[in-house]
A and B are shown apart, each in its own frame.
Chain A
Protein backbone atom coordinates (compact mmCIF):
# COMPACT_ATOMS: atom_id res chain seq x y z
CA UNK A 1 0.00 0.00 0.00
CA UNK A 2 2.83 2.33 0.91
CA UNK A 3 4.70 1.56 -2.30
CA UNK A 4 1.62 2.13 -4.44
CA UNK A 5 0.95 5.51 -2.83
CA UNK A 6 4.58 6.61 -3.00
CA UNK A 7 4.82 5.62 -6.66
CA UNK A 8 1.70 7.67 -7.39
CA UNK A 9 3.25 10.58 -5.45
CA UNK A 10 6.38 10.38 -7.63
CA UNK A 11 4.30 10.29 -10.82
CA UNK A 12 2.23 13.30 -9.71
CA UNK A 13 5.39 15.22 -8.80
CA UNK A 14 6.92 14.58 -12.21
CA UNK A 15 3.66 15.79 -13.73
CA UNK A 16 3.74 18.99 -11.65
CA UNK A 17 7.31 19.76 -12.68
CA UNK A 18 6.88 19.07 -16.38
CA UNK A 19 3.44 20.62 -16.85
CA UNK A 20 3.29 24.13 -18.29
CA UNK A 21 -0.41 24.89 -17.86
CA UNK A 22 -0.75 26.33 -14.36
CA UNK A 23 -4.37 25.26 -13.94
CA UNK A 24 -3.35 21.63 -14.46
CA UNK A 25 -0.47 22.16 -12.01
CA UNK A 26 -2.91 23.36 -9.34
CA UNK A 27 -5.13 20.31 -9.86
CA UNK A 28 -2.09 18.03 -9.67
CA UNK A 29 -1.03 19.77 -6.46
CA UNK A 30 -4.46 18.98 -5.00
CA UNK A 31 -4.02 15.34 -6.03
CA UNK A 32 -0.57 15.38 -4.42
CA UNK A 33 -2.04 16.62 -1.14
CA UNK A 34 -4.71 13.91 -1.27
CA UNK A 35 -2.07 11.20 -1.80
CA UNK A 36 0.04 12.65 1.00
CA UNK A 37 -2.97 12.55 3.34
CA UNK A 38 -3.51 8.89 2.37
CA UNK A 39 0.15 8.09 3.12
CA UNK A 40 -0.23 9.73 6.53
CA UNK A 41 -3.37 7.68 7.26
CA UNK A 42 -1.51 4.49 6.34
CA UNK A 43 1.24 5.56 8.76
CA UNK A 44 -1.40 5.97 11.53
CA UNK A 45 -1.02 9.74 11.90
CA UNK A 46 -4.68 10.69 11.46
CA UNK A 47 -4.47 14.17 13.01
CA UNK A 48 -1.78 15.21 10.57
CA UNK A 49 -3.66 13.53 7.70
CA UNK A 50 -6.82 15.50 8.46
CA UNK A 51 -4.88 18.78 8.56
CA UNK A 52 -3.04 17.92 5.33
CA UNK A 53 -6.26 17.02 3.53
CA UNK A 54 -8.10 20.13 4.69
CA UNK A 55 -5.28 22.60 4.04
CA UNK A 56 -3.56 21.04 1.03
CA UNK A 57 -6.36 19.52 -0.98
CA UNK A 58 -8.99 22.04 0.05
CA UNK A 59 -7.82 25.49 0.95
CA UNK A 60 -4.52 25.67 -0.93
CA UNK A 61 -6.24 24.75 -4.17
CA UNK A 62 -8.78 27.54 -3.74
CA UNK A 63 -6.16 30.15 -2.84
CA UNK A 64 -3.93 29.11 -5.76
CA UNK A 65 -6.91 29.37 -8.10
CA UNK A 66 -7.56 32.83 -6.70
CA UNK A 67 -3.93 33.75 -7.41
CA UNK A 68 -4.38 32.36 -10.91
CA UNK A 69 -7.02 34.99 -11.62
CA UNK A 70 -4.39 37.67 -11.01
CA UNK A 71 -1.71 36.18 -13.29
CA UNK A 72 -1.96 34.35 -16.58
CA UNK A 73 -2.62 30.64 -16.65
CA UNK A 74 0.45 29.64 -18.62
CA UNK A 75 3.95 29.44 -17.27
CA UNK A 76 6.60 30.86 -19.56
CA UNK A 77 9.12 28.39 -20.90
CA UNK A 78 12.67 28.83 -19.56
CA UNK A 79 15.16 28.62 -22.42
CA UNK A 80 18.15 27.12 -20.62
CA UNK A 81 18.57 23.62 -19.28
CA UNK A 82 19.72 23.37 -15.68
CA UNK A 83 22.27 20.58 -15.24
CA UNK A 84 24.08 21.71 -12.08
CA UNK A 85 20.90 22.08 -9.94
CA UNK A 86 19.71 18.67 -11.15
CA UNK A 87 23.07 17.16 -10.14
CA UNK A 88 23.00 18.83 -6.70
CA UNK A 89 19.40 17.69 -6.10
CA UNK A 90 20.27 14.15 -7.17
CA UNK A 91 23.32 13.94 -4.90
CA UNK A 92 21.37 15.33 -1.91
CA UNK A 93 18.50 12.90 -2.51
CA UNK A 94 20.88 9.94 -2.79
CA UNK A 95 22.64 10.97 0.44
CA UNK A 96 19.30 11.22 2.29
CA UNK A 97 18.17 7.81 1.02
CA UNK A 98 21.50 6.33 2.08
CA UNK A 99 21.01 7.85 5.55
CA UNK A 100 17.56 6.29 5.95
CA UNK A 101 19.10 2.82 5.62
CA UNK A 102 20.48 3.27 9.15
CA UNK A 103 17.18 4.20 10.79
CA UNK A 104 15.50 1.63 13.10
CA UNK A 105 12.46 -0.23 11.73
CA UNK A 106 9.42 1.98 11.52
CA UNK A 107 7.01 1.94 14.45
CA UNK A 108 8.81 -0.13 17.08
CA UNK A 109 8.50 1.47 20.54
CA UNK A 110 12.08 0.96 21.69
CA UNK A 111 13.83 3.53 19.52
CA UNK A 112 15.77 6.24 21.40
CA UNK A 113 13.27 8.87 20.22
CA UNK A 114 10.38 7.09 21.89
CA UNK A 115 12.13 6.02 25.09
CA UNK A 116 12.56 9.18 27.13
CA UNK A 117 9.47 11.39 27.39
CA UNK A 118 6.93 9.56 25.19
CA UNK A 119 6.02 6.85 27.74
CA UNK A 120 5.44 9.64 30.28
CA UNK A 121 3.08 11.43 27.90
CA UNK A 122 1.19 8.28 26.94
CA UNK A 123 0.74 7.14 30.53
CA UNK A 124 -0.05 10.51 32.10
CA UNK A 125 -2.27 12.12 29.53
CA UNK A 126 -5.53 10.86 31.08
CA UNK A 127 -4.59 11.23 34.77
CA UNK A 128 -3.19 14.72 34.33
CA UNK A 129 -5.38 16.25 31.63
CA UNK A 130 -8.48 13.96 31.24
CA UNK A 131 -7.89 14.07 27.47
CA UNK A 132 -7.39 10.62 25.92
CA UNK A 133 -6.00 11.94 22.62
CA UNK A 134 -2.28 12.23 23.33
CA UNK A 135 -1.72 14.35 20.23
CA UNK A 136 -4.09 17.06 21.47
CA UNK A 137 -2.79 16.99 25.04
CA UNK A 138 0.84 17.22 23.93
CA UNK A 139 0.00 19.94 21.41
CA UNK A 140 -2.15 22.08 23.69
CA UNK A 141 -0.87 21.37 27.18
CA UNK A 142 2.54 19.73 27.46
CA UNK A 143 3.93 21.72 24.52
CA UNK A 144 1.41 24.54 24.63
CA UNK A 145 4.00 27.28 24.24
CA UNK A 146 5.07 25.85 20.87
CA UNK A 147 1.45 25.93 19.72
CA UNK A 148 1.24 29.56 20.79
CA UNK A 149 4.27 30.17 18.56
CA UNK A 150 2.56 28.29 15.70
CA UNK A 151 -0.57 30.42 16.05
CA UNK A 152 1.58 33.56 16.04
CA UNK A 153 3.27 32.33 12.85
CA UNK A 154 -0.14 31.88 11.19
CA UNK A 155 -1.08 35.38 12.36
CA UNK A 156 2.16 36.88 11.03
CA UNK A 157 1.89 35.11 7.69
CA UNK A 158 -1.71 36.26 7.36
CA UNK A 159 -0.98 39.92 8.00
CA UNK A 160 2.08 39.78 5.72
CA UNK A 161 -0.03 38.43 2.85
CA UNK A 162 -2.73 41.01 3.56
CA UNK A 163 -0.18 43.84 3.54
CA UNK A 164 1.24 42.59 0.25
CA UNK A 165 -2.16 42.34 -1.38
CA UNK A 166 -3.27 45.79 -0.25
CA UNK A 167 -0.09 47.59 -1.29
CA UNK A 168 -1.57 49.14 -4.42
CA UNK A 169 -4.12 51.13 -2.43
CA UNK A 170 -1.43 53.07 -0.51
CA UNK A 171 0.33 53.85 -3.79
CA UNK A 172 -2.87 55.42 -5.08
CA UNK A 173 -3.01 57.76 -2.08
CA UNK A 174 0.55 59.08 -2.69
CA UNK A 175 -0.08 62.18 -4.80
CA UNK A 176 -2.91 63.36 -2.52
CA UNK A 177 -0.58 63.33 0.47
CA UNK A 178 1.97 65.47 -1.31
CA UNK A 179 -0.68 68.04 -2.17
CA UNK A 180 -1.71 68.33 1.51
CA UNK A 181 1.88 68.88 2.67
CA UNK A 182 2.27 71.87 0.41
Chain B
Protein backbone atom coordinates (compact mmCIF):
# COMPACT_ATOMS: atom_id res chain seq x y z
CA UNK B 1 0.00 0.00 0.00
CA UNK B 2 1.48 3.35 -1.05
CA UNK B 3 1.95 6.08 1.50
CA UNK B 4 -0.18 8.59 -0.41
CA UNK B 5 -3.17 6.28 -0.92
CA UNK B 6 -5.37 8.43 1.28
CA UNK B 7 -4.47 11.60 -0.64
CA UNK B 8 -5.01 10.02 -4.04
CA UNK B 9 -8.39 8.53 -3.09
CA UNK B 10 -9.63 11.75 -1.53
CA UNK B 11 -8.46 13.77 -4.55
CA UNK B 12 -10.16 11.40 -6.97
CA UNK B 13 -13.42 11.87 -5.10
CA UNK B 14 -13.08 15.63 -4.61
CA UNK B 15 -11.94 16.84 -8.04
CA UNK B 16 -15.25 16.29 -9.90
CA UNK B 17 -17.12 17.97 -7.06
CA UNK B 18 -14.80 20.96 -7.21
CA UNK B 19 -15.53 21.31 -10.94
CA UNK B 20 -19.29 21.04 -10.40
CA UNK B 21 -19.16 23.56 -7.57
CA UNK B 22 -17.12 25.94 -9.72
CA UNK B 23 -19.76 25.72 -12.47
CA UNK B 24 -22.47 26.29 -9.84
CA UNK B 25 -20.71 29.39 -8.50
CA UNK B 26 -20.22 30.67 -12.05
CA UNK B 27 -23.76 30.30 -13.29
CA UNK B 28 -25.47 31.02 -9.98
CA UNK B 29 -23.58 34.28 -9.60
CA UNK B 30 -26.74 36.01 -10.71
CA UNK B 31 -28.70 34.88 -7.67
CA UNK B 32 -26.10 34.49 -4.94
CA UNK B 33 -22.48 35.28 -4.29
CA UNK B 34 -20.23 34.16 -7.06
CA UNK B 35 -19.37 35.04 -10.60
CA UNK B 36 -16.46 34.68 -12.96
CA UNK B 37 -13.50 35.45 -10.69
CA UNK B 38 -14.38 32.99 -7.95
CA UNK B 39 -15.28 30.21 -10.39
CA UNK B 40 -12.08 30.75 -12.40
CA UNK B 41 -9.93 30.44 -9.29
CA UNK B 42 -11.78 27.24 -8.32
CA UNK B 43 -11.22 25.66 -11.75
CA UNK B 44 -7.52 26.54 -11.51
CA UNK B 45 -7.39 25.11 -7.98
CA UNK B 46 -8.88 21.87 -9.28
CA UNK B 47 -6.19 21.49 -11.98
CA UNK B 48 -3.45 22.42 -9.51
CA UNK B 49 -4.73 19.84 -7.01
CA UNK B 50 -4.63 17.24 -9.78
CA UNK B 51 -1.06 18.29 -10.66
CA UNK B 52 0.08 18.13 -7.04
CA UNK B 53 -1.40 14.69 -6.34
CA UNK B 54 -0.90 12.88 -9.65
CA UNK B 55 2.21 14.61 -11.02
CA UNK B 56 2.92 17.38 -13.49
CA UNK B 57 3.03 15.11 -16.57
CA UNK B 58 -0.42 13.67 -15.87
CA UNK B 59 -1.85 17.15 -15.40
CA UNK B 60 -0.20 18.37 -18.60
CA UNK B 61 -1.85 15.51 -20.48
CA UNK B 62 -5.24 16.79 -19.30
CA UNK B 63 -4.57 20.52 -19.69
CA UNK B 64 -1.57 21.06 -22.01
CA UNK B 65 0.71 24.03 -21.39
CA UNK B 66 0.02 25.56 -24.79
CA UNK B 67 -3.75 25.32 -24.24
CA UNK B 68 -3.50 27.12 -20.91
CA UNK B 69 -1.31 29.82 -22.44
CA UNK B 70 -3.62 30.13 -25.44
CA UNK B 71 -6.77 30.58 -23.35
CA UNK B 72 -5.43 33.62 -21.50
CA UNK B 73 -6.11 36.12 -24.29
CA UNK B 74 -9.18 34.21 -25.52
CA UNK B 75 -11.03 35.10 -22.31
CA UNK B 76 -10.32 38.80 -22.79
CA UNK B 77 -11.31 38.31 -26.43
CA UNK B 78 -14.68 36.86 -25.42
CA UNK B 79 -15.35 39.85 -23.19
CA UNK B 80 -14.29 42.41 -25.77
CA UNK B 81 -16.08 40.42 -28.48
CA UNK B 82 -19.42 40.69 -26.67
CA UNK B 83 -18.91 44.44 -26.58
CA UNK B 84 -18.04 44.53 -30.27
CA UNK B 85 -21.11 42.48 -31.20
CA UNK B 86 -23.18 45.23 -29.58
CA UNK B 87 -21.61 47.68 -32.04
CA UNK B 88 -23.01 45.67 -34.94
CA UNK B 89 -26.55 46.22 -33.61
CA UNK B 90 -26.20 50.03 -33.65
CA UNK B 91 -25.78 50.29 -29.87
CA UNK B 92 -22.98 51.52 -27.66
CA UNK B 93 -19.96 49.35 -26.94
CA UNK B 94 -20.82 46.78 -24.21
CA UNK B 95 -24.53 47.68 -24.30
CA UNK B 96 -26.03 44.23 -23.84
CA UNK B 97 -29.66 45.29 -24.32
CA UNK B 98 -29.56 44.62 -28.06
CA UNK B 99 -28.32 41.02 -27.80
CA UNK B 100 -31.78 39.43 -27.36
CA UNK B 101 -35.40 40.11 -28.18
CA UNK B 102 -35.87 42.68 -25.43
CA UNK B 103 -33.66 44.72 -23.10
CA UNK B 104 -33.57 42.79 -19.79
CA UNK B 105 -33.05 39.40 -21.47
CA UNK B 106 -30.29 40.90 -23.55
CA UNK B 107 -28.63 42.17 -20.38
CA UNK B 108 -28.92 38.72 -18.79
CA UNK B 109 -27.35 37.06 -21.83
CA UNK B 110 -24.58 39.65 -21.95
CA UNK B 111 -23.78 39.19 -18.25
CA UNK B 112 -23.58 35.39 -18.69
CA UNK B 113 -21.23 35.69 -21.68
CA UNK B 114 -18.84 38.17 -20.09
CA UNK B 115 -18.66 36.11 -16.91
CA UNK B 116 -17.62 33.13 -19.05
CA UNK B 117 -14.89 35.31 -20.53
CA UNK B 118 -13.68 36.27 -17.05
CA UNK B 119 -13.70 32.60 -15.97
CA UNK B 120 -11.58 31.53 -18.93
CA UNK B 121 -8.99 34.27 -18.41
CA UNK B 122 -8.64 33.84 -14.65
CA UNK B 123 -8.45 30.03 -14.74
CA UNK B 124 -5.99 29.83 -17.62
CA UNK B 125 -3.75 32.56 -16.14
CA UNK B 126 -3.48 30.75 -12.81
CA UNK B 127 -2.84 27.38 -14.48
CA UNK B 128 -0.22 28.83 -16.86
CA UNK B 129 1.64 30.56 -14.01
CA UNK B 130 1.58 27.34 -11.97
CA UNK B 131 2.98 25.35 -14.91
CA UNK B 132 5.70 27.97 -15.43
CA UNK B 133 6.73 27.79 -11.75
CA UNK B 134 6.86 24.01 -11.63
CA UNK B 135 8.35 23.63 -15.08
CA UNK B 136 11.26 25.84 -14.07
CA UNK B 137 11.96 24.09 -10.81
CA UNK B 138 13.17 20.84 -12.31
CA UNK B 139 16.44 21.28 -14.21
Which residue numbers of A lie inside 8 Å of B, CB to CB? 46-47, 49-51, 54-55, 58-59, 62-63, 66-67, 69-70, 127-133, 135-137, 139-141, 144-145, 147-148, 151-152, 154-155, 157-159, 161-162, 165-166, 168
Contacts and interface: CB of A to CB of B under 8 A. Distances in A.
B29 A158 contact: no
Given A47-B34, A54-B45, A136-B35, A130 B104 contact: yes
Q: Is the interface of A mostly helix, strand, loop or mixed?
A: helix
Most buried by A among B25, B104, B129: B129
A48 to B, nearest CB: 9
A43 B50 CA distance: 34
Interface in B91-123: 93-94, 96, 103-105, 107-108, 110-111, 114-115, 117-118, 121-122
A130 B42 CA distance: 26
Contacts of B107: 128-131, 137, 141
Contact of B108 (A66, A129, A161): A129
A172 to B, nearest CB: 12
A136 B29 contact: yes
Contacts of A70: 133, 136-137
Interface in B28-78: 29-35, 37-38, 41-42, 44-45, 48, 52, 69, 72-73, 75-76
B132 interface: yes
Q: Is the interface of B mostly helix, strand, loop or mixed?
A: helix
Contacts of B128: 158, 162
A55 B43 CA distance: 12
Contacts of A127: 104
